[in-house]
Amino acid sequence: MKVLSLVALVAALITVQSSILQAVENKGVDWRARSSVADRDRYSDSDTDEELNFGREIAARLLGQYKMSGNEKLQKYVNLVGTTLTQNCSRPELVFHFIVVDSSEINAYSTPGGYVFITTAILAKMENEAELAGVLAHEIAHVSERHIVKELSLKGAEKSAVSSIAALIGGASETVGIAFSQAVDKAVDLILRDGYKKEDEMQADGGAVMLCALSGYDPSGLVTFLDKVGKIKSDVGKTYPVYDVRLATLQRAMSDEGIAGLKLALNTERFVTAMKIPERSVNPLDLIRNVIPGGTP
Ligand SMILES: [Zn+2]
């Protein structure tokens, strides 16, 4: 009798869980359609190819400034979590790469086309896989929404040939080469120094929690982590009111999307185990060659 009740309980829980996931997936279909429709007419396939070339150049530049971690197992683990999230990305044509870099900065950043970097210092502040998923999903959203491409006006709605990514990168003239190099410089400055517009950060937060929920991760991971980072930054004497605004906006977005209060996977144990992976060091240059063909760090 007890066994039967247990079976019934488990079956009931599975039914509840799958109906939650089904409800989330239904929202996801709507969400993916919404996020891709605005850009569909604005960017061509060749723009996407050039977006990738542009991003690869920026990634190579970033790897000249940050040392890629030689911990191969950690790289694989972070890639696994990241790749799980990208299954639900609104731009399936992109192939993402996730790269752990040794740095004492609490940071994560991404380039157009799909290179996502995450520092060992930010990983050390996380408590579970849902927080890691939240941070990676935030970067994935910056990429899928083409925030850098739009910020640098690499292609305007007017479809000016001069400003299009393809013209910028594909052209052979010296002027085009200089413009490309300047665009890479600007993108690196935006990523490492200037930061994104507040609206872009909020859009990336909103996209991130949807990606997490659709992938089975508890969307509260990003919320708890942003809260934590906001406190850490204010503890070191700097005020970051932007975190309060972002958190409030994020909570509102989660309610609007119907994903607030969802109890999905945190995967604390798996995360803690992964962070304790004994370091098997490999030459970071070999890892870089795997992800960035021809990349010269
Ligand atoms: Zn961001």
* pLDDT per position as a tens digit, 185-236: 999 999 999 899 999 999 999 999 999 999 999 999 999 999 998 888 766 5
| Distance from residue 5's CA to the centre of ligand 1 (Å) | 47
| Distance from residue 160's CA to the centre of ligand 1 (Å) | 28
| Distance from residue 175's CA to the centre of ligand 1 (Å) | 31
- pLDDT value, residue 262: 86
Q: For residues 132 and 176, give the distance between their C-alpha atoms in angstroms, rounded to a whole number.
A: 39
- pLDDT value, residue 65: 92
| Confidence band, pLDDT 50/70/90 cuts, at residue 241 | low
Strand order in the sheet with 97-102: 67-68, 97-102, 115-119, 108-111
- pLDDT value, residue 119: 96
| Confidence band, pLDDT 50/70/90 cuts, at residue 155 | low
Q: How do residues 4-26 score in pLDDT, each as one tens digit?
A: 565 666 565 556 556 666 766 77
| Distance from residue 112's CA to the centre of ligand 1 (Å) | 13
Bridge partners, 111 (sequence order): 115
| Distance from residue 122's CA to the centre of ligand 1 (Å) | 14
- Domain ranges (residues) in the chain: 25-291
| Distance from residue 138's CA to the centre of ligand 1 (Å) | 6
- pLDDT value, residue 159: 46
Average confidence (pLDDT) over 65-81: 94
Task: Please give the structure tokens belonging to residue 286.
Answer: 């070999």
Say if residue 90's pLDDT is above 50: yes
pTM for the predicted model, two decimal places:
0.82
Q: For residues 67 and 239, give the distance between their C-alpha atoms in angstroms, rounded to a whole number.
A: 29
Q: For residues 268 and 280, give the distance between their C-alpha atoms in angstroms, rounded to a whole number.
A: 23
Q: What percent of the chain has pLDDT over 70?
A: 70
| Distance from residue 67's CA to the centre of ligand 1 (Å) | 21
- Rg, the chain, Cα only: 20
> Do 28 and 214 touch, CB atoms closer than 8 A?
yes
